[in-house]
Amino acid sequence: MRTQVLIVGAGPSGLLLGQLLHKAGVDAIILERQSADYVLSRIRAGVLEQVCTDLLDAAGVGARMHREGLPHTGFEIMNNGKRHRIDLLGLTGGKSVMVYGQTEVTRDLMDARKSAGLPTIYSAENVAVHDFDTAKPRVTYEKDGQSFEISCDFIAGCDGFHGVCRASVPRKSITEYEKVYPFGWLGLLSDTPPVCEELIYVNSPRGFALCSQRSQTRSRYYLQVPLSDKVEQWSDDAFWAELRLRLDEEGRSKLVTGPSIEKSIAPLRSFVTEPLRFGRMFLAGDAGHIVPPTGAKGLNLAATDVKYLSDAFIEFYQDKTEAGIDHYSERCLRRIWRGERFSWWFTQLMHTFPDEGAIASKFQQAELDYLLHSEAGLRTIAENYVGLPLDFGTAAKN
């Protein structure tokens, strides 16, 4: 087989890239090691910036998002039992975010690809990338006991943190930056109405909590827990009891509990790979960077990668220029590091760090006191939360 672009990974990054390329008349095959059902079973966050929603519209898959998603013009930060609203609309000149689960984004992209009859190969085993440092890259895999090879012009590594693409790069050609946090997020999904119409980020002496939602009838809650905790240790009753202790009186009175649909513990890390291009192979999304979920940047940074990469491929085929390809890594990394910085900063601001001593908590409370009572501080939070524009800082650089 042969294609112009071989996309490894059928998560939202790979599917969105495939859909944008299809719209521009560029051929692409998507190769995924898991089954389609497994991909859809992964529960992820779903706070989408304008850049991301615009891309979904451009890909032709935004209709259900606009119909069922929840536009949010603000969110709340709870500190010392008191809530402070971050007015995204007012502080950013009219910008907001869309709450729409990543699972639903993936489903919409899958449905669009299937309706268009585009090739997606699921349950591919022993996927390997070859010759990506030459003009003739290729990918091999096995399925149903047979071996296959696909030749291509480019390989897009959208296969996540544990994928084969980044792992195939010689160690001397890659630099990896990583920070692992000493706690995780215990998440619970339930068919219960949200405790609040907007998200609540909670700084509590007992640890961080987040009250989120997927719809008017489905809620997603998180608790900061030690990395040593196991999900089996947390019954539903224990989760709800601990969440109540971290909420204010209003939150406790409005909290509706119920059986969990899904419950898991996710570790938190900051991770960036440099560069993101290796010959004719490019990394996008979690294959190249991970952010702690506190700032809701993971899917949004991945969407930006896809925006830059799809533009580069389309320019290559339509305009016969390699300028976008040559600048892909630099353009992405500049935005990635901004997102990483905000996610790191917001994580430091909202979580407890017992090993850092009492003075760390005092510093944290002093910073929150400043930020939440300063228009400049509130604007800093709001501008970063809704997402900096794609061209932020370009004029100054040029």
Point out the catalytic residue in the list 141, 181, 201, 308. 201
> Domain residue spans in the chain?
2-178+268-388
What are the Cα distances from residue 309, in Å, to 11, 30, 36, 277?
A: 16, 15, 24, 10
| Mean pLDDT computed over every residue of the chain | 95
Report which of 124, 127, 68, 73 is spatially closest to residue 100, judged by C-alpha positions: 68
First to last CA, the chain: 43
Does the structure show a pLDDT above 60 at 394?
A: no
CA separation for the pair 283, 328 (Å, rounded): 10
CA separation for the pair 15, 2 (Å, rounded): 19
CA separation for the pair 42, 36 (Å, rounded): 11
DSSP string, 200-237: EEEE-TT--EEEEESSSS-EEEEEEEETT--GGG--HH
Point out the catalytic residue in the list 95, 263, 289, 297. 297
Mean pLDDT, range 16-44, rounded to an integer: 93
DSSP string, 99-165: E--HHHHHHHHHHHHHHTT--EE-S-EEEEEE-TTSSS-EEEEEETTEEEEEEEEEEEE-S-TT-HH
Mean pLDDT, range 155-173, rounded to an integer: 97
What are the Cα distances from residue 7, in Å, to 105, 124, 145, 283?
A: 18, 13, 22, 10
* pLDDT tens profile 315-344: 999 999 999 999 999 999 999 999 999 999
Determine whether 201 is an active site residue: yes
Determine whether 38 is an active site residue: no
* pLDDT tens profile 249-262: 999 999 999 999 99
* pLDDT tens profile 231-289: 999 999 999 999 999 999 999 999 999 999 999 999 999 999 999 999 999 999 999 99
In CATH terms, the superfamily for domain 2-178+268-388 is FAD/NAD(P)-binding domain (3.50.50.60)
Determine whether 72 is an active site residue: yes
pLDDT tier for residue 46 given thresholds of 50, 70 and 90: confident
Determine whether 308 is an active site residue: no
Using CA atoms of 302, 307, 308, 311 in order, give the dihedral in degrees to the nearest 10: 150
Point out the catalytic residue in the list 100, 141, 308, 385. 385
Contact 243, 255 (CB under 8 A): yes
Helix, strand or coil, per DSSP, at residue 63:
helix
Determine whether 141 is an active site residue: no
Count other Cβ atoms within 10 Å, centred on residue 197.
12
Contact 17, 309 (CB under 8 A): yes
Report the chain's C-alpha Rg in angstroms: 21
CA separation for the pair 296, 286 (Å, rounded): 14
What are the Cα distances from residue 200, in Å, to 103, 179, 203, 304?
A: 21, 25, 10, 26
- Quick one: pLDDT at residue 140? 98
Point out the catalytic residue in the list 12, 72, 95, 222. 72
Point out the catalytic residue in the list 141, 289, 293, 328. 293
Locate tokens 């119920």: which residue? 258
Q: Alpha helix (H) ranges present in the chain?
A: 12-23, 36-41, 50-58, 63-68, 88-91, 102-115, 164-167, 236-246, 249-254, 298-319, 323-350, 358-371, 375-386, 394-397
CB burial readout 206-242, b (16+ within 10 A) else e: ebbbbbbbbbeeebbbbbbbeeeeeeeebeeeebbeb
Lowest mean pLDDT among 128-132, 209-213, 252-256, 385-389: 385-389
